């Protein structure tokens, strides 16, 4: 099968490419900037008008590109629609997110939700991965913080469940969807049915790495007040009140996992961390 991946150089895109190549598929894709090591990759930036010739002879489009620049919400939405139309009658899979929900408040969750609704209306497939455990992406950044910081704040004592997903299980789920999709299904929530709490995840990371740190419980109200004050004082911080609110909504799970339709035996948390 010939597969085209937008955002092929990203963490998920490049991981999926390697897995599909190992499975014998022909894989190409687009990047947002030229790559001297891969001059064959066409450059496509979200916000540009896609040329239908971009996809070549691909049978399937996997749309994984996303512009994380603040203020790029509408650009992401319009670009996804344009890519969908330009790809024509090909099968298409949109990589959405666990954060996509009708009451999302953050730019990321709003954009993903609106795009996935459009793709579903067109009869295409969407996947909503949870937090993909690997060395890159959001978890990779969190992993570097957790294994370096002497103090780790836990919002509301880390009681909230975390929708985790092994990188290998993400790739396997996409391989199944590309080769033999379940009939009648168009939306797939990809995360382990048994979700660890944030405290359990942090403690597992610390055990796995051998790093010792103080876990500091922080109430949501205290965190919001501190961030609100910092924003008024224009102090540079890695978090915002808007991000805090978006994260609070994410911890209220509205999706039911159906990962096991595609991956009968998902990796355990310990197996995920060992692979990362």
Distance between CA atoms of residues 82 and 42, nearest Å: 17
Range name among 215-219, 224-228, 233-237 with the lowest pLDDT average: 233-237
Bridge partners of residue 188, in order along the sequence = 127
Domain coordinates of the chain in residue numbers? 2-275
Residue 30 near residue 88 (C-beta atoms within 8 A): no
Q: Is the pTM of this model over 0.85?
A: yes
Residue-wise pLDDT for 227-262, tens only, equals 788 778 887 766 676 777 767 666 677 889 999 999
C-alpha neighbours within 13 Å on the C-beta side of residue 71: 0
Share of the chain above pLDDT 70, in %: 95
Which among 36-50, 116-130, 148-162 has the top mean pLDDT? 116-130
Residue 86 vs residues 18, 79, 230: alpha-carbon distances, Å: 25, 10, 44
Among 51, 52, 63, 57, CA closest to 26: 57
Residue with tokens 């390697």: 18
Mean pLDDT over all residues of the chain? 92
* 8, 13, 19, 21 alpha-carbon torsion, rounded to 10°: -10
Distance between CA atoms of residues 245 and 121, nearest Å: 29
pLDDT for 184 equals: 86
Residue 153 vs residues 68, 138, 139, 220, 231: alpha-carbon distances, Å: 25, 17, 16, 11, 19
Question: What is the band of 18 on the pLDDT scale with cuts at 50, 70, 90?
Answer: very high
Residue with tokens 């969750």: 109
Mean pLDDT of all residues in 60-79 = 96
Which residues, other chains included, contact 56 with Cβ-Cβ below 8 Å and sequence gap of 6+? 2, 4, 28
Check whether domain 2-275 has CATH 3.40.50.720, yes or no = yes
Residue 201 has pLDDT above 70, yes or no: yes
């Amino acid at each position: 099968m010939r597969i085209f991946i937008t955002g092929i150089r990203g963490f998920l895109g490049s991981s999926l490419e390697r897995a599909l190549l190992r499975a014998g598929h022909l894989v190409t894709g687009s990047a947002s900037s030229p790559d001297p090591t891969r001059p064959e990759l066409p450059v496509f930036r979200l916000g540009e008008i896609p040329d239908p010739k971009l996809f070549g002879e691909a049978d399937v489009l996997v749309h994984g590109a996303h512009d994380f620049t603040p203020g790029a919400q509408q650009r992401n939405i319009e670009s996804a629609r344009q890519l969908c139309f330009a790809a024509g009658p090909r099968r298409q899979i949109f990589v959405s997110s666990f954060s996509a929900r009708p009451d999302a408040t953050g730019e990321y969750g709003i954009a993903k939700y609106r795009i996935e609704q459009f793709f579903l209306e067109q009869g295409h497939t969407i996947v909503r991965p949870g937090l993909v455990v690997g060395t890159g992406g959001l978890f990779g950044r969190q992993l570097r913080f957790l294994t370096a910081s002497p103090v780790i704040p836990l919002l509301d004592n880390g009681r909230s469940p975390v929708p985790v997903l092994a990188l290998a299980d993400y790739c396997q789920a996409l391989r199944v969807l590309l080769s033999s999709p379940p009939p009648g299904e168009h939306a797939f929530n990809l995360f382990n049915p048994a979700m660890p709490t944030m405290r359990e995840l942090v403690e597992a990371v610390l055990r796995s790495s051998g790093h010792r740190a103080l876990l500091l419980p922080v109430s949501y109200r205290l965190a919001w007040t501190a961030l609100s004050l910092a924003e008024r004082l224009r102090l540079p911080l890695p978090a915002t009140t808007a991000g805090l609110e978006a994260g609070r909504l994410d911890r209220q799970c509205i999706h039911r996992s159906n990962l096991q339709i595609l991956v009968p035996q998902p990796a355990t948390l310990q197996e995920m961390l060992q692979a990362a």
